[in-house]
Amino acid sequence: MILQIALLIGLVGFSVLAILLRDLLKAAISLAAASIMLAMIFFRLNAPYVGVFEISVVAGLITVLFITTIALTKSPSDVKESRRPLIIFPLFFIAFIICDIFIMKALLQAGRPMLPGSPGTQPFGVVFWNERTFDLVGQIAVIFAGVFSVLALFRPRGDKHD
Amino acid sequence: MTSTWYLYMGFCAALLFIGIYCLLTMKNLIKLFIGIEIISKAISLALVTGGFVRNNLALAQALVITFIVIEVSMVAVALAIIINVYRHTGSLDIRKLTTLKG
């Protein structure tokens, strides 16, 4: 229980760092650290497949994409962020956490019944490969759409067809 | 886990707040996208927690893996758009994206 809470606090802490740090590279690395925390939480929740995906894809691939983008958009004149949102963030965040604690406590005391549903008995492989048909096709379509979009966006200029 | 799932949902809400605050206040395009990533982490955590509570983790994992794949596609396209915006305007500041004004 203590480990779970420590991981959750680490996840929120690294996420806060990712938005508060002015250096984009450090912010991207904080985001990767938050992903690793999330993956460890997934392992603790008995969801190892998602944990592996989270570490390899989100903490690995997306961080590489972020760092590549930061390297390609190195600007001498940095974006001037207003300091006020960063200064008042802790106040808003603490107020939100207090509201959050009260709401969750009230929900816990009310003891609301969960939504009806049957527990799954089939193993992960059966659910992942056999129970999905059209969403798998949609997922492949999304991947191809992403690939072609990136190709279209990085098309070399200069060839005028007019 | 009978009552700790409220704790998980509370942390999901906190992550959602951080992401939305980032989207509302930041001016850097990459920072805005980091905010979207934080929101997606909150959604993943909420889905897996829901699956764990309902004892239906296989379906929750399948959903989250689909979500991660779509997220990667979205990240690739969005970062390509950010690089193109930088080439056009020379900056990552969203305040300079005013050329689309009608």
Q: What is the token pair recorded at B42?
A: 């909150």
Residue A23 amino acid letter: D
Indicate whether B74 belongs to any domain. Answer: yes
Q: What is the token pair recorded at A63?
A: 């961080």
Least confident of A110-119, B36-45, B62-71, B72-81: A110-119
Asked whether the beta carbons of residue A128 and residue B10 sit closer than 8 angstroms, the reply is: no
For B59-75, what is the mean pLDDT?
A: 91
Residue entry with tokens 């200069």: A158
Asked whether the beta carbons of residue A8 and residue B38 sit closer than 8 angstroms, the reply is: no
Indicate whether B27 belongs to any domain. Answer: yes
Q: What is the token pair recorded at A78?
A: 């940095």
- Every domain of chain A and the residues it spans: 1-73
Question: What digits encode the pLDDT tens for the residues A41-98?
Answer: 999 998 999 999 999 999 999 999 999 999 988 765 567 777 787 788 888 888 988 8
- CA A140 from centroid of its chain's CA atoms: 21
Bridge partners (DSSP) listed for residue B28: B93
Selecting from A16, A24, A117 the residue whose C-beta is nearest the C-beta of B30 gives A24
pLDDT-derived band at A131 (thresholds 50, 70, 90) equals confident
More confident residue, B2 or B5: B5
Report the CATH number that the domain containing residue B50 is assigned in CATH.
1.10.287.3510
CB contacts, 8 Å: A50 with chain B: 44, 48, 60-61, 64-65, 68
For A138-152, what is the mean pLDDT?
A: 89
Residue A99, pLDDT above cutoff 60: yes
Q: By percentage, how much of chain B surpasses pLDDT 70?
A: 93
For B86-96, what is the mean pLDDT?
A: 84
Indicate whether B65 belongs to any domain. Answer: yes
Asked whether the beta carbons of residue A58 and residue B71 sit closer than 8 angstroms, the reply is: yes
Do B34 and A33 contact (CB within 8 A), yes or no? no
For A142-161, what is the mean pLDDT?
A: 81
Asked whether the beta carbons of residue B45 and residue A41 sit closer than 8 angstroms, the reply is: yes
CB contacts, 8 Å: A31 with chain B: 34, 37-38
Contacts of A33 (CB under 8 A, 6+ apart): A10, A14
Indicate whether B82 belongs to any domain. Answer: yes
Please report the pLDDT score of residue B102 as a whole number. 57
Residue B96, pLDDT above cutoff 70: yes
Range of the domain at B21: 4-96
pLDDT-derived band at A101 (thresholds 50, 70, 90) equals confident
Q: What is the token pair recorded at A90?
A: 């802790």
Q: The pTM is what? A: 0.88
B81 touching chain A per CB within 8 A: yes
Please report the pLDDT score of residue A67 as a whole number. 93
Selecting from B7, B76, B91 the residue whose C-beta is nearest the C-beta of A75 gives B91
Averaged pLDDT of chain A: 85
Tell me the range of A63-77, A127-141, B36-50, B86-100 where mean pLDDT is highest.
Answer: B36-50
CB contacts, 8 Å: B13 with chain A: 96, 100
Question: What digits encode the pLDDT tens for the residues B11-29?
Answer: 999 999 999 999 999 888 9
Selecting from A49, A142, A154 the residue whose C-beta is nearest the C-beta of B65 gives A49
Total tally of structural domains belonging to chain B: 1
pLDDT-derived band at A123 (thresholds 50, 70, 90) equals confident
Residue A162, pLDDT above cutoff 60: no
What ipTM did this prediction achieve?
A: 0.90
Nearest to A5 by CA among A56, A40, A55, A53: A40
pLDDT-derived band at B53 (thresholds 50, 70, 90) equals confident
B67 touching chain A per CB within 8 A: no
Residue B44, pLDDT above cutoff 90: yes
Indicate whether B87 belongs to any domain. Answer: yes
